[in-house]
């Protein structure tokens, strides 16, 4: 089937729960979406508010405290809020990327022992939650001729660490407390083929129909490595886009009518809907891309009209009262908009 750009946009919105807010719980939706970007502490909360009918931030905090959700380094070695089930199924494949990258960088690092050995000592030390500063200082005691900051930066990327939620609402601040994943969760899947298949399935479920280049760009895994995951999917559906490029999908997932109305939505900083494709014009018109994804690499909070990014928004303090929302449209808006 040939799918138009508008049809692909509506498929994305449907799978991302952005055509209509859903009556789901945060854990189920986060699991279906394969995680939410979480570099900014508030981002997952706002992302869920945009997608669920009734969501209370304390529900998310409770799911984190009960270890049904976790905040961890996942796709592209960036922080995500994910379900525990998704984390355990995907981490074997995703960590292979991180380890390859940091092992290559170790060649220029004047360490005496291997990065895997140094990471093992840090994971043992992080068997109980410890602050980032404490873990950095511990790295400085490992006897290596490398600044503690630099060594800890590499160790925390190489090893599987989780961010532990605090006791306050919206439970993550900017001074993270971390713990070894193996001390916090059950043992993950150690079958790389099964883990690769899971990563591909999750992407198609959350963002499909999609190209292998989309899954590679989002996950950080090379297309060659992902091939195993694609080959393991029985009954995969094939489509093509308007340029004749092959798209993969899973059966029985929504492909709404391209004329389905798309209500306005406020998306948070780093919303994954804008980042999950090699060709980001599915949700960001090309003239606006550099205004949304800025030089520093930040992805700004956006609002959508008719399913496409139409401008930026932010909250502003208003003299101690409720904050007000400020909109910066990229083009003049009609009154109805």
pLDDT tens-digit profile, the chain (337 residues) = 899 999 999 999 999 999 999 999 999 999 999 999 998 888 999 999 999 998 888 899 999 999 999 999 999 888 999 999 999 999 999 987 777 666 666 566 777 788 889 999 999 999 999 999 999 999 999 999 889 998 998 888 889 999 998 766 565 666 789 999 999 999 998 899 999 999 999 999 999 999 999 999 999 999 999 999 999 999 999 999 999 999 999 999 999 999 999 999 999 999 999 999 999 999 999 999 999 999 878 999 999 999 999 999 999 987 777 889 999 999 999 988 8
Residues 6+ apart with CB under 8 A from 169: 57, 58, 61
Which residue is listed with tokens 């904050």? Answer: 323
What lies within 8 Å, CB to CB, of 302 at 6+ separation is 266, 267, 271, 274, 284, 292, 309, 310, 311, 312, 313
CA atoms of 216 and 229, how far apart (whole Å): 11
Question: What pLDDT is attached to residue 105?
Answer: 61
By the 10 Å C-beta count (0-12 exposed, 13-18 middle, 19+ buried), 78 is classed as: middle
- CB-based contact 307:82 (threshold 8 Å): no
């Amino acid at each position: 089937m040939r799918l138009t750009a508008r049809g692909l946009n509506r498929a994305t919105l449907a799978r991302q729960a952005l055509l209509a807010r859903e009556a789901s719980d945060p854990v189920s939706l986060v699991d279906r979406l394969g995680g939410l970007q979480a570099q900014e502490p508030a981002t997952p909360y706002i992302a869920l508010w945009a997608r669920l009918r009734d969501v209370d931030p304390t529900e998310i905090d409770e799911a984190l405290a009960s270890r049904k959700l976790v905040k961890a380094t996942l796709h592209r070695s960036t922080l995500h809020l994910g379900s525990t089930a998704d984390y355990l199924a995907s981490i074997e494949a995703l960590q292979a990327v991180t380890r390859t990258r940091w092992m290559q960088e170790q060649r220029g690092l004047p360490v005496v022992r291997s990065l895997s050995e140094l990471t093992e000592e840090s994971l043992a030390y992080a068997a109980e939650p410890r602050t980032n500063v404490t873990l950095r200082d511990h790295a400085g005691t490992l006897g290596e001729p490398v600044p503690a900051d630099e060594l800890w930066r590499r160790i925390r990327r190489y090893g599987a660490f989780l961010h532990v939620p605090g006791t306050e609402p919206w439970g993550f601040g900017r001074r993270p407390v971390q713990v070894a994943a193996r001390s916090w969760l059950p043992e993950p899947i150690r079958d790389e083929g099964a883990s690769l298949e899971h990563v591909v399935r999750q992407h198609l479920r959350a963002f499909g129909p999609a190209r292998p280049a989309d899954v590679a760009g989002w996950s950080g895994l090379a297309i060659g490595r992902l091939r195993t995951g694609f080959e393991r999917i029985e009954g995969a559906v094939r489509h093509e886009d308007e340029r004749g490029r092959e798209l993969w999908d899973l059966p029985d997932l929504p492909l709404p009518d391209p004329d389905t109305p798309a209500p306005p939505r406020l998306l948070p900083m780093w919303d994954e809907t804008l980042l999950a494709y090699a060709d980001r014009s599915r949700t960001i018109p090309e003239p606006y891309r550099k205004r949304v994804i800025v030089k520093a690499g930040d992805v700004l909070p956006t609002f959508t009209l008719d399913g496409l990014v139409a401008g930026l928004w932010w909250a502003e303090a208003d003299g101690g009262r409720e904050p007000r929302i400020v909109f910066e449209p990229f083009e003049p808006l009609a009154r109805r908009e």
